[in-house]
Amino acid sequence: GSRYPTRIAVASDGWTYVTDALAGSVFVYDEDLALKGEIKNIERPLGIAISQQGRLFVGDDGADCVKVFDLDGTPRRSIALGVEMPNDLTTDSDGNLYVADSKADRIRVFDIDGDWVRDIGAENVDAEDIDAEGIDGAPGVSELDNLPC
């Protein structure tokens, strides 16, 4: 099974998909959480998402792309346009893919066909630019002391 679980996604049928950045794989578990398979040959899988259309998206930090699979592990394509560190992924009801690209300080949005739509967010935001007042006039965040985990 997984040595270094990184991200997790659960399909509508209850099957669970877990990226493992050290193993270079996605481990697949059935609805009873019994290990059923492994999707291999992913250099450093980070983010993972499952679309309503039944596609599995895996952010590959080692290859600087998002790999697209059927839920049975069949590879479909890669999305690489300007993706540097696909740290987290999600999809919307139309099948658009949102990629949190941590190295490029942005969210990249791709349509259902894998074509780039737009970017969201600022580039090159430094930690010193973030405070309780927000980033460059954006809505601020509340200051919280000793927030329990």
Cβ atoms 65, 86 nearer than 8 A: yes
Average pLDDT over residues 123-149: 45
Q: pLDDT band for position 5 (50/70/90)?
A: very high
Tell me which of 125 and 4 has the higher pLDDT: 4
Question: By 3-state DSSP, what share of the chain in percent is helix, strand and coil, each rounded to 5?
Answer: 0, 45, 55
Cβ atoms 29, 110 nearer than 8 A: no
Alpha-carbon distance values, 38 to 2, 26, 30, 74, 141 (Å): 9, 6, 12, 11, 40
What pLDDT is attached to residue 1?
Answer: 74
